[in-house]
Amino acid sequence: MAWLPRLFEGPEICARISETGAAATGLAVGTPVAAGAGDQGAGAVGMGIVGPGSVSATIGTSGVVFASTDRPAMDPLGRLHTFCHAAPGLWHVMGVTNGAGLSLRWFRDTFAPGADYDQLTAEAAKAPPGSDGLLWAPYLFGERTPHLDPQARAAFVGITASHTRAHCVRAVMEGVAFSLRDTFSLFSDLKIPVARIRLGGGGARSPLWQQIQADVYGHSVELLAADEGGAFGAALLAGVAIGAWPSVEAACAASVHVARQIEPKHAAAMDQAYQSFRRLYPALREIGRT
């Protein structure tokens, strides 16, 4: 332990700007520095995920489902990641999909170069929920949750002559949401409560992906007024460090506001498609390893 630096809570002052630091940054000498957090912890603070029952689903390059807990909820099979939260006295558990927004970017770059995401998602909105049976397994870089398999491979399954590019794009978006639902299934197994789900990342800016997530999770989802994510959370931690709020929970209560709530519209169709999705990985694994 003597080799390691001192540990600090996220909203704790750990240093002050030195003369060298001031010269490099333009900040005043003596400016307090809060310990802060890693990207997911800070992002969760910025979304108000600081109490049991609050969960975020974030689609960036990867996808993360993140739950705040008041205990270290450990998955004995290691499919979820458990850490101390950025807020003192709390823990968090999360599942990760490696190829979330990356799946859509890969599809665009490979099959629709020059198209923008708004154009592709507008097309996808014309395809029906469930993409007429077309499924996407988003394992472009192997997978973390729940499979822990670096050899997992991506695939479109169920292609017919009637499928169009719109179906393919929608299937990609649905497949990513299905893979995130896998984490919610593990949360249920571990008795981790899910009272509210807040959306973040680039995927939260797409109205279609917002609705797909509500439908796939079978749960209302919330969009926030501020979407700065980790930067916003780091600012709140710094505010607590200098006494602007008495706690991280108080900072979130004062600063994180829900702008809109989206209700599921096609939960039954998406649940049926999800049951088919869950059969993809075992089949692909058998094909890939024979």
Active-site amino acid positions:
39
Q: Which of 78, 96, 65, 94 is nearest to 200 (CA)?
A: 65
Do 197 and 180 contact (CB within 8 A), yes or no?
A: no
The Cα–Cα gap between 167 and 134 comes to 7
Q: Which of 68, 67, 94 is nearest to 82 (CA)?
A: 94
Query: What long-range pairs does 188-196 form, CB within 8 A, spacing at least 24?
Result: 190/73, 190/75, 190/80, 190/93, 192/67, 192/69, 192/73, 192/93, 193/52, 193/53, 194/53, 194/55, 194/67, 194/219, 195/53, 195/54, 195/55, 196/53, 196/54, 196/55, 196/220, 196/222
The Cα–Cα gap between 68 and 196 comes to 11
